[in-house]
């Protein structure tokens, strides 16, 4: 019966390999009951119905109109991957709080006030703000220091500063972004890890020091088993705590300990040309399976993953 077919809607932007391959994989695996289709969206009426069992969101971080569309769809019973409510609240600096809750190491990090005033503010908007003691920042972090936006991605506005001069040159360019300053991890190995459905894990060796096309290392040495177990545990713990069903976690290893560098990526790169054939096949197949599983076994509405369960009881501080 045609109208019993359940649709997985794909909402995406310029990417041109992953969505089409995923739609095909969903069709192949969905047994004629579940199909993958591009979402169609236009002006949204209050009472509008949504003809999707699930929507995979790859682009609402760039298109605020889509974010609100997804929040409404989610509230009306559509499964949305990833959670548009938590995605809106999440940021990289807060992510370190989540990491601490689940026993994952992060580099020492400080959140900095904006270099330039955000729109619609003036000097008197900042009567609560005190001057930063930069010597204390440098003493806490030590050089080199990474400067990067708390609401960021895609290596945009990421700087590595070896000394105070380079630090301020970078900070001075940071406009009104919310920047964080972070201890640089001098790593021996670096991994980028897909976590799908909060249970499937795919560990990829990644060398951020190489040019873009060569970063996903396909011919690296095997990963030492105890380290691999730790990488898998850490990546899953983070994605479960965050409640992300599609995520990448970047872990840099120093003295045998993985440090979480970048792990709030609800629309991670999944382009065939950057991740390579083997990784692409993995993400397409596993994503299709997990989305089909979610359509068959929907999750109850949720705002976040599990991180808030570990919070201190009220009055404990
Ligand atoms: N604390 C750090 N120590 C070492 N390398 C870092 C650190 N922070 C960022 N980097 C490097 O900079 C790159 C981009 O930073 P990242 O936090 O991943 O930002 P984005 O979300 O823009 O990808 C990382 O892939 C890593 O190579
Ligand atoms: Mg990154």
Ligand 1 neighbour 292 (Cβ under 6 A): no
Among the listed residues 309, 280, 311, 288, the one whose alpha carbon sits nearest the alpha carbon of residue 8: 288
Q: Is the pLDDT of residue 216 over 80?
A: yes
User: Is 24 in contact with 73 (CB distance < 8 Å)?
Assistant: no
Residue 154 lies in a domain: yes
Residue 192 lies in a domain: no
* Chain-centroid distance, C-alpha 178: 17
Residue 132 lies in a domain: yes
What is the whole-number distance in angstroms between the Cα of residue 7 and the centre of ligand 1?
37
Residue 317 lies in a domain: no
Residue 7 lies in a domain: no
3-state secondary structure the chain: CHHHCEEEEEECCCCCCHHHHHHHHHHHHCCCCEEEEECCCCCCCCCCCCCCCEEEECCCCCCHHHHHHHHHHHHCCCEEECCHHHHHHCCHHHHHHHHHHCCCECCCEEECCCCCCCCCCCHHHHCCCCCCCHHHHHHHHCCCEEEEECCCCCCCCCEEECCHHHHHHHHHCCCCCCEEEEECCCCCEEEEEEEECCCEEEEEEECCCCCHHHCECCCCCCCCHHHHHHHHHHHHHHHHHHCCCEEEEEEEEECCEEEEEECCCCCCCCCHHHHCHHHHHHHHHHHHHHHHHHHHCCCCCCCCCCHHHHCCCCCCC
Residue 68 binned pLDDT confidence (cut-offs 50, 70, 90): very high
Question: For atom 2 of ligand 1, which residue has the closest CA?
Answer: 184
**Least confident among 54-63, 123-132, 157-166, 300-309:** 300-309
The pTM of the full predicted model, rounded to 2 decimals, is 0.96
**Least confident among 107-111, 224-228, 268-272, 309-313:** 309-313
Residue 315 binned pLDDT confidence (cut-offs 50, 70, 90): confident
Per-residue pLDDT tens digits for 111-145? 999 999 999 999 999 999 999 999 999 999 999 99
Q: Is the pLDDT of residue 90 over 60?
A: yes
Q: What is the mean pLDDT of the chain?
A: 96
Q: Containing domain of residue 160, as a range?
A: 110-183
What is the whole-number distance in angstroms between the Cα of residue 144 and the centre of ligand 1?
13
Residue 174 lies in a domain: yes
Per-residue pLDDT tens digits for 190-210? 999 999 999 999 999 999 999
Residue 157, C-beta contacts closer than 8 angstroms, at least 6 positions apart: 147, 148, 149, 173, 174, 177, 179
**Domain tally for the chain?**
1
Residue 280 lies in a domain: no
- What confidence score (pLDDT) does residue 3 get? 60
Q: Which string of b and e fits 176-206 if b means at least 16 CB within 10 Å?
A: ebbbbbbbbbebebbbbbbbbbbebbbbbbb
Residues 38-57 have a mean pLDDT of 96
- What confidence score (pLDDT) does residue 213 get? 84
What is the whole-number distance in angstroms between the Cα of residue 101 and the centre of ligand 2?
21
Residue 303 lies in a domain: no
Q: Is the pLDDT of residue 312 over 90?
A: no
Q: Which atom of ligand 1 lies closest to the CA of 155?
A: 22
What CATH number did the domain enclosing 171 receive? 3.30.1490
Instruction: List phi, psi (to 5°) of 159.
Output: -130, 145
- What confidence score (pLDDT) does residue 222 get? 96
- What confidence score (pLDDT) does residue 1 get? 45
Listed residues: CB within 5 A of ion ligand 2: 262
Residues 48-70 have a mean pLDDT of 97
């Amino acid at each position: 019966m045609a109208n019993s077919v359940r649709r997985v809607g794909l909402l995406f932007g310029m990417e041109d390999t992953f969505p089409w391959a995923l739609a095909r994989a969903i069709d192949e695996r969905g047994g004629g009951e579940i199909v993958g289709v591009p979402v169609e969206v236009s002006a949204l009426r209050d009472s509008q119905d949504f003809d999707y069992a699930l929507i995979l969101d790859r682009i609402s971080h760039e298109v605020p109109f889509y974010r609100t569309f997804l929040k409404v769809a989610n509230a009306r019973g559509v499964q949305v991957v990833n959670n548009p409510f938590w995605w809106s609240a999440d940021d990289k600096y807060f992510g370190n709080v989540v990491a601490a809750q689940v026993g994952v190491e992060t580099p020492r990090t400080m959140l900095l006030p904006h270099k330039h005033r955000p729109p619609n503010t003036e000097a008197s908007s900042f009567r609560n703000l005190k001057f930063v003691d930069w010597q204390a920042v440098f003493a806490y972090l030590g050089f080199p220091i990474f400067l990067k936006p708390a609401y960021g991605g895609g290596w945009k506005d990421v700087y590595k500063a070896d000394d105070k001069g380079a630090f301020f040159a970078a900070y001075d360019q940071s406009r009104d972004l919310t920047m964080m300053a972070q201890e640089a991890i001098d790593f021996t190995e670096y991994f980028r890890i897909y976590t799908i459905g909060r249970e499937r894990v795919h560990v990829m060796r990644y060398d951020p020091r190489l040019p873009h096309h060569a970063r996903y290392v396909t011919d690296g040495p095997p990963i030492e088993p105890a380290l691999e177990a730790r990488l898998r545990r850490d990546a899953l713990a983070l994605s479960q705590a965050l409640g992300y069903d599609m995520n990448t976690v970047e872990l840099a290893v120093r003295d045998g300990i993985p440090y979480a560098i970048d792990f709030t990526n609800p629309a991670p790169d999944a382009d065939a040309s950057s991740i390579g054939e083997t990784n692409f096949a993995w993400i397409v197949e596993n994503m299709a399976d997990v989305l089909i599983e979610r359509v068959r076994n929907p999750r109850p509405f949720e705002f976040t993953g599990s991180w808030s369960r570990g919070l201190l009881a009220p009055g404990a501080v």
